[in-house]
Chain A
Amino acid sequence: MTRLADLAPGIKGRNAGAAWLTFDIPFSDRASYERALASGAISPRRIGEIYAIPEADVRIFPFAPALALKITIPRAAFAGGFDESDFDGAQQFAPILDIEIP
């Protein structure tokens, strides 16, 4: 079984402004990038399930020059309020590490 983290160990997440989270997923090589893309395993539907958000809120950008996928989703709450637990959105990517890539 291959997990996304096996093909793209450098996954990172950040705020993109105070309303969005964005995950940059750079693949180790072109074959891994194309395999992940062709598999359809990383879809708005799947990401929506993981984060319990509507799939219409998920945007996915393949960015071939960086051999990377970019996933952008709304933050659970606007950044920086009293209830904030991850100001920079640095650790919200963890559940996507385990997405299985056929």
Chain B
Amino acid sequence: MNDIRLLANGLVGNGFSYRGFQAGLDRRPHMIGCDAGTSDYGPGPLGSGRDIKPPASVERDLEIMFEGARRLGIPLIIGSCGVAGAAPHLEGYRRIVERLIADSGRPCRLALIHSDQDPVSLKAACAAGRVRPLGPVPPLTAAAIDASTHIVAMAGAAPFIRALDAGADVILAGRCTDPAIYAGLAMKLGASPAIAWHAARSIDKGMLATENVEEGSPVMATLDDTGFTVEPTKDGARCTVKSIAALTMYENPDPWSILQPSGRISAEHCRFEQIDERSVRVSGSEFFAAERPSVKLEGARPIGHRAAMLVGIRDPRLIAELDDYLDRFGTMIRRTARSLGIAEDSYRFRFLAYGRDAVMGMREPLRDSPPHEIGLLIDILAKDEADAIALLARASSTGAKLAPVRGIPAGGNFAAPFSPNQIPIGPAYEWSVWHLLDCADESDPFRIEIMDLQA
């Protein structure tokens, strides 16, 4: 097998070094890849169908990578377009790339990998026992499927290989695993699954593979028959054994078992060597094929509209009796809701006491250490925006005038940082689908669309 070179950036819309990228192109890579997705931001992007990266940054990153790929005549592969990888996210990226193709003056074969799941087929899969919970979630029901605004499956390498076999110049994918965009091309060019997958996993966060992340350097993996080497492409950036090995661990519960649709990557018997001051050699990676493929499903459903308010509390008497105060405050909010005719089961609220236990909740070991100041977040979820704002506005005045401690006259409990202080958050979502779908062929859940676009 000849060497395979994969040029990688981390996340579309987060930027990268232009100079480092051009230096990467000088090394004649076989592809350019960049992931665009994450579920780290919660269910909001998937539920709403909106990207959360700034459009100007997304366009800048795509334009530079597109130009480089077309100049070298190599595939550009973008994974999990628009953060969540559902139809509206993919459509946003398609529009940008179509404009780039039109501006380029050259024809281009564009492949779209659609990850959206059809509710009817998904219900059939549930009925056939092919859908399993991923973690502590209830079994998937038809009701949960119907309540979801978007449900996507995460593609592995196989759909990418199909798109490449069809001659795609640019592949825009809906939801997929981060390394799949590289592993597909590497295996198509002859790399073993173990080396392809582990190399892909080592570069799929782009500049995070380097020690000096602030340099924004793209990274390149060079694969051969016995392993792979990772290096940054910008002068001055460095990959170290620590920075590369850390990526194998990152965001995975278990470094010996990094799950993909077609099997699992294991670094248990791996060797990492620093071969010069900026490059790391990795060998001994393993890949264990699954008995049958399974893809992860993600879905989000709307749960209402949200409005919130952050206020400062400095009165030490109130802080000392905060739980009692919040009990009384909660009772007042429920009373207000009744007076406004807001049904009890149509809204929820919570208090987060920043400075005490807002971040860790019940797990906070220092909950009883007295703070001198509290940031109190009052968070209301209601069936529509009008109810949420009405409840919050009333809570704002009620809470401010409530006795800080029983028996002490109210003096104004809230220091407000904004005017007006109520913040409409908008529609809120939660994960409705977090499951695994067993499939006969890992490409089955995905629709590949190929189009020849003329400049």
Contact = CB atoms under 8 A, between A and B. Distances in A.
Contact of B362 (A24, A76, A86): A76
Interface stretch (B111-119, B134-142, B439-447): B134-142
A87 B40 contact: yes
Contacts of A85: 352, 358-361
B8 interface: no
A66 interface: yes
Contacts of B267: 63, 65
A66 B248 contact: yes
B363 A61 contact: no
Interface residues of A, number: 39
A19 B245 contact: no
Contacts of A92: 359-360, 363
B137 A17 contact: no
A72 B245 contact: no
Given A50-B365, A82-B428, A63 B252 contact: no
Contacts of A82: 303, 348, 350, 381, 428, 430
Contact of A78 (B135, B255, B362): B135
A17 B135 CA distance: 9
A45 interface: no
Contacts of B428: 82
B43 A22 contact: no
A34 interface: no
A52 B357 CA distance: 15
Given A66-B241, A66-B242, A16 B431 contact: no
A19 B296 CA distance: 14
Interface string A62-81: 01011110101010101111
B250 interface: yes
A59 interface: yes
A88 interface: yes
A65 to B, nearest CB: 4
A70 B365 contact: no
A87 B255 contact: no
A70 B249 contact: yes
A18 interface: yes
Contacts of B358: 85
Interface in B119-142: 134-137
Contacts of A86: 359-360
B135 A66 contact: no
A26 interface: yes
B250 A24 contact: yes
Contacts of A76: 360-363
A39 interface: no
A66 B428 CA distance: 39
Interface in B177-216: none
B175 to A, nearest CB: 14
Interface string B217-255: 000000000000000000000000110011011111111
B21 interface: no
Given A22-B252, A78-B137, 15 more contacts: A17-B134, A18-B431, A19-B135, A22-B249, A22-B251, A63-B255, A67-B242, A68-B242, A68-B245, A78-B136, A79-B431, A85-B358, A86-B359, A86-B360, A88-B41
8 contacts: A14-B40, A17-B134, A66-B248, A72-B254, A87-B41, A88-B41, A95-B360, A95-B365
Interface of A: 14-20, 22, 24, 26, 50-52, 59, 61, 63, 65-68, 70, 72, 74, 76, 78-88, 91-92, 94-95
Closest 7 CB pairs of A and B: A19-B135, A66-B245, A65-B245, A16-B253, A65-B272, A87-B42, A80-B42
